[in-house]
Structure 1
Amino acid sequence: MAQSRAGRLAPVVEMAEKAEKAAVQRLGHFQGQVRLAESKLADLEAFRLDYQEQWIIRGSSGVSGQWLLGYQGFLAQLGTAIDQQRQSLVWHQNNLTKARDSWQQAFARVEGLRKLVQRYMDEARKLEDRREQKLLDELSQRLPRQDPY
């Protein structure tokens, strides 16, 4: 009976394993998205730093008012892009956190089901061992006893 319980759980375990595998794939996807967003943010910040260094170089020789307005306008646009990229990074990090939580729940479910199946199999094995021992005991009692003398 316990063995059949383990057998009946096999499709449930298989479905849980598929769900866990899908959760792992989602987790990997979101990890990649976070890395990409971090890389874009780093690129934007490096570009802003380079652009600000241009001010130092160009400003030391004097600049026109028009150049200064263009510089400040572009720097403001760059700041906006960096802020948006930071928001994007936070959004991707939140998705990653949710995906990690989802995977942890799926993993725990699979592990719990595997332990349950193992317990059912152990119970079935113990039951079968007891039956065998009982049968052997009955057979040994039925055998004629031989006198050692």
Structure 2
Amino acid sequence: MAVSRAARLAPVVEMAEQAEKTAVQRLGYFQGQVKVAESKLADLDAFRLDYQEQWIVRGSDGVSGQWLLGYHGFLAQLDTAIDQQRQSLVWHQNNLIKARDAWQQAFAKVEGLRKLVQRYREEAQRLEDKREQKLLDELSQRLPRHDPY
């Protein structure tokens, strides 16, 4: 018996489904990376705010020049770390966008293949129905007819 077109496509559908599954996993990974980067940035921002509040408290009592230089130096390092974390967040967000696009493409491919397989199955069923009807018609033609008259 000849293998149907739908059956021949089964390995292609399986490969597309595996690619879509991998794309979903990558999407989840990058979603997690964005959340981690956002959290780190929020932590750094909060730490910077706390550090500035220390300046207000400590500054009201008076500070030495050396303490002030150290404060500004550390604040500059903190600002650099915040900028780097922002860049890291943007990088992870870009990866997330790319992963989402890749998943959408993989999903669309799987859905398209599934629709094609379904169309092939429906077409095969219609052909089988026609063949059966033709066979039934031929059999009914061969049966002797009994005229009621």
The TM-score range, normalised by the shorter chain, is over 0.9
Aligned positions of 1:39-58 closer than 5 A: 39-58=39-58
Aligned positions of 1:105-120 closer than 5 A: 105-120=105-120
Cα shift at 1:148: 3.0
Cα shift at 1:3: 6.3
Looking at structure 2, the residues matched to 115 and 3 of structure 1 have their Cα atoms a distance apart, in angstroms, of: 19
Sequence identity (%) = 86
Tell whether the 8 Å contact from 1:27 to 1:103 is kept in structure 2 after alignment.
yes
Which digits, 9 at most, give the CA deviation of each residue in 1:28-57, with x for residues without a partner?
Answer: 000000000000000000000000000111
Looking at structure 1, the residues matched to 148 and 38 of structure 2 have their Cα atoms a distance apart, in angstroms, of: 87
Tell whether the 8 Å contact from 1:37 to 1:89 is kept in structure 2 after alignment.
yes
Looking at structure 1, the residues matched to 33 and 61 of structure 2 have their Cα atoms a distance apart, in angstroms, of: 43
Cα shift at 1:22: 0.2
Aligned residues between the structures = 149
1:102 aligned onto 2:75: no
Letter of the structure 1 residue corresponding to residue 52 of structure 2: Q
Looking at structure 1, the residues matched to 38 and 3 of structure 2 have their Cα atoms a distance apart, in angstroms, of: 51
Partner of 1:132: 132
Partner of 1:9: 9
Partner of 1:141: 141
Tell whether the 8 Å contact from 1:2 to 1:121 is kept in structure 2 after alignment.
no
Moved over 2 A (4+): none
Looking at structure 2, the residues matched to 124 and 43 of structure 1 have their Cα atoms a distance apart, in angstroms, of: 61
In structure 2, relative to structure 1, the CA distance for the partners of 1:100 and 1:19 (3 Å cut) is same
Letter of the structure 1 residue corresponding to residue 134 of structure 2: K
Letter of the structure 2 residue corresponding to residue 132 of structure 1: E
In structure 2, relative to structure 1, the CA distance for the partners of 1:116 and 1:3 (3 Å cut) is farther
Which digits, 9 at most, give the CA deviation of each residue in 1:83-128, with x for residues without a partner?
Answer: 0000000000000001001001100110111111111000000000
The TM-score normalised by the length of structure 2 is: 0.97
Structure 1: which 5+ residue stretches go unaligned? none
Partner of 1:18: 18
Tell whether the 8 Å contact from 1:48 to 1:75 is kept in structure 2 after alignment.
yes
Looking at structure 2, the residues matched to 125 and 136 of structure 1 have their Cα atoms a distance apart, in angstroms, of: 16
Looking at structure 2, the residues matched to 70 and 58 of structure 1 have their Cα atoms a distance apart, in angstroms, of: 13
**SS, match of residue 83 in structure 2:** helix
Partner of 1:69: 69
1:88 aligned onto 2:74: no
Structure 2: which 5+ residue stretches go unaligned? none
Task: Note the aligned Cα RMSD (angstroms).
Answer: 1.3
